[in-house]
Chains A and B, each alone.
Chain A
Amino acid sequence: MMKFLRPDEGRADHAPAEGSAGASAGAPAQATTILVGNPNVGKSLLFKNLTSRYVTVSNIPGTTVEIVRARANFNGRQIEIVDTPGINDLTPRSDDARVTRQVLDEHADATVVQVADAKNLRRALLLTLQLAELRHPTVLVLNMFDELEERGGKIDIDRLSALLGVPVVATVAPANRGTAELVRALPAARPLREFSGVDTEARSDYERNRALLAKVHEMLAETYSVVQPPHPAFGIRLGFWAMHPLRGIGFLALVLLAVFWFVGLFGAGTLVDFLEMGVFQQRLNPGIMWLTDAVLPFPHEHVVAPVSYEMSIPLSPAHDVGVATIDRIVSTEAYTLTPGVELSWWQAITRFIHDFLVGEYGALTMALSYALAIVLPIVTTFFFVFGILEDSGYFPRMAIMVNRVFRFMGLNGKAVLPMILGLGCDTMATMTTRILETRKERLVTTMLLALAIPCSAQLGVLLALMATLSPVGALVWMGLVLGVIVLVGWLTARIIGGEASDFILEIPPMRRPQLSNVLIKTTSRLNWYLKEVIPLFVVGTALLFLLDWLRILGGIGRLMQPLVSGWLGLPQEMANAFLVGFMRRDFGAVYILDAATGPVPVLSTHQILVAMVTITLFMPCFANFLMIAKEHGLKVAWRMAGFIFPFAFFVGGAVNFIGRWLSNI
Chain B
Amino acid sequence: MAVEYLSCPFCGFEFAKEDTLCRHGCPLGSMCQLIRCPSCQYEFADKPPAVSWLSGLFRRRQRPAVELPENVLTVRDLRGGERGRVLCLGAGTATRHNNLAVFGLVPGAEVEVVQQRPAPVVRVGETELALDAAIAREIMVERLEPERAPA
Interface residues of A (CB under 8 A from B): 1-3, 88-89, 91-95, 119-123, 126, 151, 153, 204-206, 209-210, 213, 227-228, 230, 240, 243-245, 248, 396, 399-401, 403-404, 407, 412-413, 437-439, 491, 494-495, 497, 502-507
Contact = CB atoms under 8 A, between A and B. Distances in A.
A1 B130 contact: no
B126 A245 contact: no
B14 A2 contact: yes
A89 B130 contact: no
Contacts of B15: 2-3
B126 A503 contact: no
B102 A506 contact: no
Contact of B56 (A437, A494, A504): A494
Q: Which of B102, B114, B129 has the most CB of A within 10 A?
A: B102
A615 to B, nearest CB: 29
Contact of B103 (A91, A93, A494, A504): A504
Contacts of A248: 118
27 contacts: A2-B16, A2-B19, A3-B15, A89-B98, A93-B2, A121-B126, A123-B103, A123-B127, A209-B101, A210-B101, A210-B106, A213-B104, A213-B106, A243-B130, A396-B130, A399-B130, A400-B119, A403-B118, A404-B119, A491-B57, A494-B53, A494-B57, A497-B50, A497-B56, A504-B129, A504-B130, A506-B128
Contacts of A123: 102-104, 125, 127
Contact of A245 (B50, B57, B118, B125): B118
A204 B130 contact: no
Contacts of A438: 2
B119 A1 contact: no
B118 A495 contact: no
B97 interface: yes
Given A209-B101, A243-B115, A403-B119, A204 B94 contact: yes
Contacts of A504: 96, 99-100, 103, 129-132, 135
Contacts of B149: 228
A245 B38 CA distance: 47
Contact of A206 (B16, B94, B125, B128): B94
Contacts of B96: 502, 504
Given A209-B106, A404-B119, A413-B119, A502 B126 contact: no
B130 A400 contact: yes
A119 B107 CA distance: 22
Contacts of A243: 115, 118, 121, 130
Contacts of B97: 206
Nearest to B16: A3
B63 interface: no
A126 B19 CA distance: 28
Contacts of B130: 243, 396, 399-400, 403, 413, 503-507
A643 to B, nearest CB: 14
B95 interface: yes
A62 B21 CA distance: 33
A153 B95 CA distance: 32
Interface string B1-34: 1110100000001111001000000000000000
A210 B50 CA distance: 38
A439 B1 CA distance: 8
Interface residues of B, number: 46
Q: Which of B15, B19, B94 has the most CB of A within 10 A?
A: B94
Nearest to A405: B118
Interface in B64-122: 92, 94-104, 106-107, 114-115, 117-119, 121
Interface of B: 1-3, 5, 13-16, 19, 38, 47, 50, 53, 56-57, 92, 94-104, 106-107, 114-115, 117-119, 121, 125-132, 135, 149-150
9 tightest CB-CB pairs across the interface, nearest first?
Answer: A88-B102, A507-B128, A2-B15, A503-B132, A89-B102, A245-B117, A209-B101, A505-B130, A120-B126
A92 B18 CA distance: 14
A487 to B, nearest CB: 12
A495 B50 CA distance: 10
B121 A400 contact: yes
Given A3-B15, A502-B135, A503-B131, 6 more contacts: A119-B126, A122-B125, A209-B101, A210-B106, A495-B56, A503-B119
Contacts of A245: 115, 117-118
Contacts of B53: 494-495, 497
Given A1-B94, A205-B98, A88 B103 contact: yes
A403 B132 contact: yes
Contact of B98 (A93, A95, A403): A93
Nearest to B105: A504
B84 to A, nearest CB: 18
A391 B140 CA distance: 35
Contacts of B16: 2-3
Contacts of B5: 93
A7 to B, nearest CB: 16
Given A1-B94, A206-B97, A400-B119, A120 B125 contact: yes
A120 to B, nearest CB: 5
A494 B57 CA distance: 5
A659 to B, nearest CB: 30
Contacts of A495: 53, 56-57
A575 to B, nearest CB: 35
Contact of B38 (A2, A227, A230): A2
B83 to A, nearest CB: 14
A206 B101 contact: yes
Nearest to B149: A228
Given A93-B95, A507-B128, A122 B104 contact: yes
A502 B132 contact: yes
Q: Which of B38, B107, B121, B125 has the most CB of A within 10 A?
A: B125
B132 A437 contact: no
A437 B1 CA distance: 8
A230 B151 CA distance: 9
A126 B98 CA distance: 12
Contacts of B102: 88-89, 123, 126, 209
Contacts of A1: 13-14, 94
A241 to B, nearest CB: 11
B135 A401 contact: no
Contact of A506 (B2, B129, B132): B129
A123 B100 CA distance: 11
A267 B103 CA distance: 41
Contacts of B126: 119-122, 151, 153
Given A400-B121, A404-B118, A507-B130, A213 B2 contact: no
B120 to A, nearest CB: 9
Nearest to A226: B126
Nearest to B102: A88
Contacts of B121: 243, 400, 507
Contacts of B117: 245
A404 B133 CA distance: 9
Contact of B2 (A3, A404, A437): A437
Nearest to B135: A502
Nearest to B107: A210
B14 A400 contact: no
Contact of A507 (B50, B98, B129): B129
Contacts of B98: 89, 91, 93, 204-206, 209
